[in-house]
Amino acid sequence: MTKRFLSACVVAAALFPSAFAAEFQIHDGERVVFLGDSITEQRLYTTYIEAYALTRHPDWKLSFRNVGWGGDTAWLRQRAHPDEKDLFAADAAAQQKMVEDSVGRGLSRDVLPLKPTFVTVKFGMNDHAYQVFRPDIFAAYTRSQTEIAKELTAAGARVTFLTPQPIEEKRADPDQDVRNQSLRKFSDGLKEVAAKNGAGFVDQFDPYMGLMMTARAADPKAFIGAGDAVHPGPTGHTLMAWAVLKGLGATPEVSSVAVDFGKKSVTAQGCKVDKLTVADGKISFDRLDKALPMPIDQRAEGALKLAPVLADLSRYDLQVTGLPEGTYEITIDGESAAKASADALAKGWNLTNSGGPITAQSREVLKQVFAKNNLYFDRWRNVQLYSFPAWAKGAEVEARRDAEVRRLDGEIAAAEAAIDAARKPKVHHFEVKPATP
């Protein structure tokens, strides 16, 4: 529950000067793959992005798979295991050959079989080796990212590169951390790679750093990510998803209802309103939305105080003008959703993440998406890629592996069908009435 303050919009505009102009890059029918390192493997920012797309477009057919791998780099070292000493020391021709081999093998195993139409690629944290900028590593990084774009594009997928977020130590000047200065150079190089290869590019480094610096100005020991220095917790990942979604052209409008208390009239956008009644100082109506508000992980609600997440990504609004002064309670299907003053309701009240059945439904979608993504991770890493010792290998073992993969694929398909059902909006009965003192 939050008011939409002008200052939040100013902050967003400063961080994303062209954020409102783009079309959402995920489309109906997409098979989306998230490729990255351990931060992607956490299955947090990726799940929040997925939940946004699923709830905002409940009639779209969408598929999402996460193939993040802890410790990985743009040259896919955790999947193909190239000799990094030789890779960094090689001349351009030799390095290109090594990169083609490493990237090709990694993508062929983990990404291309999924037949993606849209891939986000997030590397850089491990690539820079947690040290002062090294041109030799940077050369391997940009060459590898170029090869990733080349191979995925050739396979028919659109590619968007994501920069890493900054490292967050408990220091007053995170922008002076040499590792962050190195990450900034890697991110700048990635932007050039994207431009040269016709790929998308989202810089989450600067927005996240801006939030860190703002927090440090108020408290030098502030720690916004709520995880460790490299791996943010749900709060930090919500901030990352906010930055990435805006960079992907996500829009905030879910639906809005505006009631004129005096005229007993209503206008609606993105929803259908029936049975409006204005009597005895109370307003009631039925509302069927075209979409659900974006679910916010309850572990990450602190992110809403750090960035205008709801104002930028989920405006599920109710406006009531002409009410007598006082405090009013908003109920949905008889459940209390919020309390607001007449003045606040006249300006518009964002019911995203409020109480009541609509927020509960969106949270249930998020819960189911988490479960589905964990199921796919188990299928991919613990069954498909499980390495048996030599003495256990054989046709019988592989047959059992294949059978388990098919069983898990069935569970994943059932989970996705349940998610599709869970994200359909329902008719709800709204009431606005004077609050009990």
What is the distance between the alpha carbons of residues 258 and 272, in angstroms, rounded to a whole number? 12
CA dihedral 319, 320, 321, 326 (to 10 degrees): -120
Question: pLDDT, tens digit, for every residue of 372-404?
Answer: 999 999 999 999 999 999 999 999 999 999 999
In CATH terms, the fold of domain 21-247 is: Rossmann fold (3.40.50)
- Check whether 116 has a pLDDT greater than 80: yes
Whose CA is closest to 428, among 318, 325, 309?
A: 318
Instruction: Give the full edge-to-edge strand order of the sheet including 335-341.
Output: 271-279, 282-289, 427-434, 327-332, 335-341
What is the distance between the alpha carbons of residues 252 and 309, in angstroms, rounded to a whole number? 9
- Check whether 407 has a pLDDT greater than 60: yes
CB atoms within 10 A of CB 181: 14
Question: pLDDT, tens digit, for every residue of 170-226?
Answer: 889 999 999 999 999 999 999 999 999 999 999 999 999 999 999 999 998 899 999
Question: pLDDT, tens digit, for every residue of 275-288?
Answer: 999 999 999 999 99
**Residues 147, 154: contact at Cβ < 8 Å?**
no
Question: pLDDT, tens digit, for every residue of 18-57?
Answer: 333 358 999 999 999 999 999 999 999 999 999 999 999 9
Measured in residues, the chain has a length of 437
Question: pLDDT, tens digit, for every residue of 227-273?
Answer: 999 999 999 999 999 999 999 999 999 999 999 999 999 999 999 99
pLDDT of residue 221: 87
Question: pLDDT, tens digit, for every residue of 341-364?
Answer: 999 999 999 999 999 999 999 999
Question: pLDDT, tens digit, for every residue of 53-89?
Answer: 999 999 999 999 999 999 999 999 999 999 999 999 9
Q: Which residues pair with 278 in a beta bridge?
A: 283
Q: At residue 337, what are phi and psi to the nearest 5 degrees?
A: -105, -35
What is the distance between the alpha carbons of residues 388 and 109, in angstroms, rounded to a whole number? 17
What is the distance between the alpha carbons of residues 385 and 401, in angstroms, rounded to a whole number? 10
What is the average pLDDT score of the chain? 94
pLDDT of residue 11: 41
Mean pLDDT of 421-432: 98
pLDDT of residue 22: 52
pLDDT of residue 379: 98
C-alpha 195 chain-centroid distance: 23
Q: What is the 3-state secondary structure (H, E, C) of 107-142?
A: HHHHCHHHCCCEEEEECCCCCCCCCCCCHHHHHHHH
- Residue 437's pLDDT band (boundaries 50, 70, 90)? confident
**Residues 250, 313: contact at Cβ < 8 Å?**
yes
Ranges for all domains in the chain classified under CATH 3.40.50.1110: 21-247
Question: pLDDT, tens digit, for every residue of 144-163?
Answer: 999 999 999 999 999 999 99
- Residue 8's pLDDT band (boundaries 50, 70, 90)? very low
Q: What is the pTM of this model?
A: 0.93
Give the SS3 label for residue 296.
Answer: coil
**Residues 295, 366: contact at Cβ < 8 Å?**
yes
pLDDT of residue 3: 39
Give the β-pairing of 31-36 and 200-202: unpaired
Question: pLDDT, tens digit, for every residue of 323-333?
Answer: 999 999 999 99
Give the SS3 label for residue 267.
Answer: strand
